[in-house]
Structure 1
C-alpha cells in the first residue's frame, strides 16, 4: 500500500496569499498563481516552499503567528462554516478534529480529555513538516478559536517537536501560556473554562441558507407522507451536525428509538434506508447545483472521509460520484438552450 501523501487544503493556502496582500506584496509573483477553485488540496511540499519563500523575504521569526492573525472560517472551507453552527468552542473543536484531514492532512490529530480541559496532539508518524508549517497550523487554530468566541484567552500549554528558536518571546506573547520546544509530539492544551464559551461569531444567516438549500433539494423528491417529510427535514440538520443516528432523530421528535423504529416500519421504512435516501438526494443536488468538490460534499453529508462517501454513493447509484456528476453535467448541457 502506498504511503499517504501529506497535503493541506487549497482554501487554507489562500491564508498566506491574503497575508501578503495585506502587506502590499504581490503574492502571485512571489508564490505563483492561486490554486484554482476546483483544486481541493495542495501538496505539503508546495506549502512548505511557499512559507519558506515568505520567510526568506521577511527575514524575521514568527511568520506563522503573523499569518494566523488573518484566519477565518472560509480558510477552513466547509469544515470552518460547519463549526460556526456549533453552540460552544468545545463542540466546534470536536467538529474540526473530526474532519481536520480535509483541511490539514499531515499527521493525524488525537483529542484527549483531561481533568483540566482537552489536549490535541499531532505525532510524527508521517514525518516532521517543520517549524513554519507547525507554527502556522497551531497559531491558526488558536486564532480561529479566539475569534469565534470573541475573546483573547491564553492556552494552557503548547509543545512543538521542532528545536527551540533563538527568541521565544513572540510565541509566549501569542499563546499566553507555557510554550515548549523539542517535544515528542506537537501538543495544544486548552482549559475547560474556555471550551464552554459560546461562539459569539456564529453565522445563523449562513446556517439558515444551508438549511434552505438542503430543504429545496429534498423538495424535489416525490411527495411523501408528512411524517416522513418531517423526519427527513430533521435528518438534514442532524447530518450537518454530524449526528445522523437513530437515537438523535428519535430524541428530536420526542420518541424512544423503539417507537420511532415502529413508526418507520408502518411507513415501510427502516432508519438506514431513510438516512441513505436523504443523503443520496442531498448528494445529487449538491453535485448538480453547487460549486463544491467531492471532499466538501462528503463533509456536508456527515462522512468523515471522501472514500466512505464514494463507497456509499456507489451502493446507492451504481456509479462513483465523479462519474455520476460527469454524466449529470453532460445531460444538463444537452438540454440547455
Structure 2
C-alpha cells in the first residue's frame, strides 16, 4: 500500500533544493524519510514532502519557490517519470500514455489529469496541501516542470497558450512571466492548469522510441508493484541497531548517528515508544543469539559476534534473558527446529 506516500526521487529533489536555498539542515533531517532516499522502491510519507515544500515556500519570496525546484529538475532527476514524458507519438500521446503511472512520482491523492481541448492539451493539477503559500509553490512547480519537459521532449521553445492558478498573484509575478514565457497567466482561477496549443501538443517527438516507451511503462508498473512505504520509526531504529550489531557491540552514539539523531534524542524517542536502549539491545542480542545457537556455532564464536568480551559474559547475559544457559537453549532448539519456522524464533518474552 503506497497511498499517502511520495517517491524518493521527488522528495530528494525538493529536499536538495531546500538545502541549497538555505533551509536549516536539522529541520530537514528530523523529517521521517528525509535521509532515506537511496532506494527508489521506498516510498516517503506525503507529510514529509509537504513539510519540505512548506519550509522552502516560506524561505523564498512568493512566486519563486516552485520555480526554483523546476529549475533544479534536470532531465533524469525523476527517471521513472521523466523519460515516460519524452516518449510518445507526440506530447499529447506521451502525457496520456503516462497518466496511469503518475503514482511513480507522487501520491494517488494528488489530483493529476490530462484533457483534450479541441486538439490542444491541458494538464490540470491539484495538491492536497492546505496551506495557501505552500500549495501555491507546489502548483507553480508542477506547471513549470511540465513546461520544461514539454520543451525538452519537442526541442521547441514552447510558450503555453494559457496558464491558470487558483491562488492570488504574488506581489511580484515577474519571475512567473519569465519562466512561462507569457503574461497569459490567470490568478484566482477555478483550477491550476497549463494549456499547450495543438501545434505544440501534436508535433512528433524527435527522440521518441515506441519500444523504449513500452519498456519504460513496464518498468514504471513494476516499480509501483514492488514499492513499499518507509518503515515506521521503531522498525527504522531496529534496522539501524541490527546494522551496528553486525559490526560487534552496538553503541548508543553509533545507532543515533545512523538515524541522524543525538544520543539524548534517541533515548527520548525510545522512551516515547515505551522502551529503553538497554531493553532494545538485549532483545536484539537475544534473538540473534538464538539464531546463531540454532546454527551449531561455538558459544565463544557467538559471543564475539554479539560484541561480548568472552563466552562467560554471553552465558551470564543469556541466563538473565531466558533463565537458562545457551547450552540448554541449543538442545531445545535442536529438538524443535524441524517444527518451528525461523520467523517464530525470538517471539517469547525477553526479561531485561
TM-score, length basis structure 1: 0.53
Alpha-carbon offset, residue 6 of structure 1: 4.0
CA distance in 1, matches of 2:62, 2:115: 34
Q: What is residue 9 of structure 1 aligned with on the other side?
A: 7
Between 1:152-161 and 1:91-100, the stretch displaced more is 91-100
Q: What is residue 78 of structure 1 aligned with on the other side?
A: 80
Deviations 1:274-296 (A, max 9, x none): xxxxx9xxxxxxxxxxxxxxxx5
The structure-2 alpha-carbon separation of the partners of 1:92 and 1:203, relative to structure 1 and needing over 3 Å to count, comes to: closer
CA distance in 1, matches of 2:71, 2:204: 21
Alpha-carbon offset, residue 298 of structure 1: 2.2
1:31 aligns with 2:37: no
Between 1:29-38 and 1:89-98, the stretch displaced more is 29-38
Q: What is residue 225 of structure 1 aligned with on the other side?
A: none
CA distance in 1, matches of 2:122, 2:104: 20
Contact 1:123 1:184 in 2 (8 A): no
Between 1:78-87 and 1:148-157, the stretch displaced more is 78-87
CA distance in 2, matches of 1:162, 1:68: 19
Alpha-carbon offset, residue 165 of structure 1: 2.0
Q: What is residue 101 of structure 2 aligned with on the other side?
A: 99
Q: What is residue 185 of structure 1 aligned with on the other side?
A: 191
Contact 1:85 1:203 in 2 (8 A): yes
SS in structure 2 of the partner of residue 58 of structure 1? coil
Taking the TM superposition and a 5 Å limit, the aligned residue runs for 1:135-174 are 135-174=140-179
CA distance in 2, matches of 1:120, 1:299: 25
* Greater C-alpha radius of gyration: 2
Alpha-carbon offset, residue 60 of structure 1: 5.2
Alpha-carbon offset, residue 151 of structure 1: 2.5
Taking the TM superposition and a 5 Å limit, the aligned residue runs for 1:1-337 are 5-19=3-17, 28-29=25-26, 31-32=28-29, 33-38=34-39, 39-59=41-61, 61-105=63-107, 106-122=109-125, 128=130, 130-177=135-182, 178-200=184-206, 202=207, 239-240=214-215, 298-299=221-222, 306=225
Alignment RMSD, CA only? 3.7
- The number of residues matched between the two structures is 218
The structure-2 alpha-carbon separation of the partners of 1:160 and 1:40, relative to structure 1 and needing over 3 Å to count, comes to: farther
Contact 2:63 2:140 in 1 (8 A): no
CA distance in 2, matches of 1:31, 1:87: 41
CA distance in 1, matches of 2:70, 2:196: 18
Contact 1:21 1:27 in 2 (8 A): yes
User: Any gaps of 5 or more consecutive residues in structure 1?
Assistant: 208-235, 243-278, 280-295, 310-337
Contact 1:99 1:299 in 2 (8 A): no
Alpha-carbon offset, residue 176 of structure 1: 2.7
Deviations 1:195-239 (A, max 9, x none): 233445x487xx9xxxxxxxxxxxxxxxxxxxxxxxxxxxx8685
CA distance in 2, matches of 1:297, 1:99: 6
Q: What is residue 239 of structure 2 aligned with on the other side?
A: none
User: Any gaps of 5 or more consecutive residues in structure 2?
Assistant: 228-352
SS in structure 2 of the partner of residue 69 of structure 1? helix
Contact 2:104 2:220 in 1 (8 A): no
CA distance in 2, matches of 1:119, 1:99: 18
